[in-house]
C-alpha cells in the first residue's frame, strides 16, 4: 500500500512542490499524471526514499519512509520497491544476468541464479541472459529492466514514463507486462505518465493528477 500525507519537497535550486494526499491499497494501481515539470519523477523519488521530503511523509508497504536512516533506507528500497526508470540504466559492463545480480548486491543478500533465470524466463528474455545490453532491442532491454525491478518480489513497482517514445503496439505490450508483473508479486503499481494512452489501457486504476 501507499499513503502520502501533506508531502512537500523544496528543490535546492528550484521550485517547491506540494503534493496532494494519495492512498492506494496493496495490489492497486495508481496513475500519476501531469505535464513535464509537474513533479512526477520527484514524487516517485520521494516514495522510493531517493529524496527526503521537506515535510509530510510517505508510507510505503507500511513503512514511513522518512523514519528510515540512510543505510537502512537503501536496503529497504532494494527489498521492497521495484523501480523502472525512464532511462533503464543497464550496465554495459555486465551481461543481462549480471545486471539482475546487482539487485541482490544492493539488497545485501546472496545471489540466486535460479531466481534470476526464472525472472528472465517469465518475461520472455531467458535466452538473452549472456548478452550485453548493447545487443538488445529497445523492447528486450525494457523486459530485462522489468525483470530486474521485480526480481526481489517487491511490494511496490514504480514505473516512470514507461511508454515514452513507444508506438501504440509497443506501449500496449509494455503496459501489459507491467500489469502482469505486478499481479505476480501482488504489488502496488504506480505509473507516472503524461501519456493519454496509459489511462485508456489501465481501466480501474486510481488517477492522481499533479498541478503544473
pLDDT of residue 212: 58
How many Å separate Cα 127 from the centre of its chain? 24
In angstroms, rounded to a whole number, what is the distance separating the alpha carbons of residues 212 and 36?
A: 8
The Cβ-side half-sphere exposure at 166, using a 13 Å CA radius, reads 23
In angstroms, rounded to a whole number, what is the distance separating the alpha carbons of residues 142 and 119?
A: 13
> Which residues have a Cβ under 8 Å from the Cβ of 118 and sit 6 or more positions away?
none
pLDDT of residue 23: 97
pLDDT of residue 71: 83
What's the grid cell of residue 167?
Answer: 508506438
Enumerate domains of the chain plus CATH numbers: 2-92+154-209 (3.40.50.300)
**Average pLDDT per consecutive 10 residues, the chain (212 residues; last block may be shorter):** 96 90 97 90 95 95 92 92 93 97 91 95 95 95 93 96 89 92 95 92 92 68
Nearest-5° Cα angle at 158, 64 to 81: 50
Nearest-5° Cα angle at 88, 85 to 90: 140
Number of helices (H) and strands (E) in the chain: give both, helices first.
7, 10
What letters, b where the CB count within 10 A reaches 16 and e where it falls short, cover 53-85? beebbbbbbebebbebeeeebbebbbbbbbbbb
Provide the 10 A C-beta neighbour count for residue 168: 10
CA torsion sign for 82, 85, 89, 90 is positive
Amino acid at each position: 500500500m501507499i499513503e502520502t500525507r501533506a508531502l512537500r519537497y523544496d528543490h535546492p535550486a528550484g521550485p517547491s512542490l506540494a503534493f496532494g494526499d494519495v492512498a492506494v491499497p496493496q495490489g492497486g494501481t495508481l496513475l500519476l499524471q501531469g505535464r513535464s515539470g509537474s513533479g512526477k519523477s520527484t514524487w516517485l523519488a520521494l516514495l522510493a526514499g531517493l529524496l527526503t521530503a521537506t515535510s509530510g511523509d510517505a508510507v510505503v508497504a507500511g513503512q514511513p519512509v522518512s523514519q528510515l536512516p540512510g543505510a537502512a533506507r537503501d536496503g529497504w528500497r532494494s527489498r521492497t520497491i521495484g523501480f523502472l526508470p525512464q532511462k533503464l540504466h543497464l550496465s554495459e559492463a555486465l551481461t543481462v544476468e549480471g545486471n539482475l545480480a546487482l539487485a541482490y548486491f544492493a539488497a545485501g543478500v546472496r545471489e540466486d541464479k535460479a531466481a534470476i533465470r526464472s525472472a528472465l524466463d517469465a518475461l520472455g528474455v531467458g535466452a538473452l541472459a549472456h548478452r550485453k545490453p548493447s545487443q538488445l532491442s529497445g523492447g528486450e532491454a525494457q523486459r530485462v529492466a522489468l525483470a530486474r525491478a521485480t526480481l526481489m518480489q517487491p511490494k511496490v513497482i514504480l514505473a516512470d514514463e514507461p511508454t515514452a517514445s513507444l508506438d501504440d503496439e509497443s506501449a500496449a505490450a509494455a503496459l501489459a507486462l507491467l500489469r502482469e508483473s505486478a499481479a505476480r508479486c501482488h504489488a502496488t503499481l504506480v505509473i507516472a505518465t503524461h501519456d493519454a494512452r496509459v489511462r485508456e489501457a489501465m481501466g480501474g486504476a486510481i488517477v492522481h493528477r499533479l498541478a503544473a
